[in-house]
């Protein structure tokens, strides 16, 4: 399923028209039409907001091969916390790190609480390393 198909489907399931989605997003109707017809994808914060408004994951919107609208949502809070502390680049690194670890849960029966604990530990380790690196390699005060 393409990005355009996913946006249109999610919008319809949400029960809003293109004009209403544009208002929710703070963009023109033309932008929504473009997303739904040409496959033009918004970037960065606009893609995050679109996923939030449509109640789907960014991964679902970004990758045609992902068919579950909720895929990857369990890592969102960890990625967002990393973004707020270290910026977009670190958030991307955290997303990749957690995505690679999702494979550990494939085919197994693991509670959501156990997954959350694992993701929390990975995020805390990442943040600790970033903070230590900042102390060691950050700007030196003169």
Token digits for 137? 């390699």
User: Tens digits of per-residue pLDDT, 38-51?
Assistant: 989 999 899 999 99
Contact 104, 74 (CB under 8 A): no
Q: Is 77 left (phi over 0), alpha (psi -120 to 50) or beta?
A: alpha
Q: Is 6 exposed, middle or buried (0-12, 13-18, 19+ CB in 10 A)?
A: buried
For each of the domains in the chain, give its residue range(s) and CATH number, in order of start: 3-62 (1.10.260.40), 73-137 (no CATH)
User: Tens digits of per-residue pLDDT, 5-46?
Assistant: 999 999 999 999 999 999 999 999 999 999 999 989 999 899
pTM: 0.75
pLDDT at 113 over 90: no
Q: What is the pLDDT of residue 137?
A: 83
User: Tens digits of per-residue pLDDT, 55-84?
Assistant: 999 999 999 999 999 988 888 889 999 999
User: What is d(CA 4, CA 116) in angstroms, rounded to the nearest whole number?
Assistant: 31
Query: For residue 97, which phi and psi values (nearest 5 degrees)?
Result: -60, -45
């Amino acid at each position: 399923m393409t990005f355009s198909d996913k946006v249109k489907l999610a919008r319809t399931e949400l029960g809003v028209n293109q004009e209403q989605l544009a208002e929710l997003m703070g963009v023109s109707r033309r932008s929504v039409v473009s997303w739904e017809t040409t496959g033009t994808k918004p970037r960065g914060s606009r893609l995050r907001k679109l996923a939030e408004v449509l109640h789907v994951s960014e991964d679902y919107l970004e990758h045609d091969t992902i068919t579950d609208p909720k895929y990857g949502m369990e890592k969102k809070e960890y990625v967002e916390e990393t973004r707020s502390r270290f910026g977009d680049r670190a958030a991307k690194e955290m997303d990749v790190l957690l995505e690679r670890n999702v494979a550990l849960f494939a085919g197994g029966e693991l509670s959501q609480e156990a997954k959350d604990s694992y993701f929390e530990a990975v995020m805390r380790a990442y943040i600790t390393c970033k903070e230590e690196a900042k102390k060691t390699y950050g700007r030196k005060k003169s």
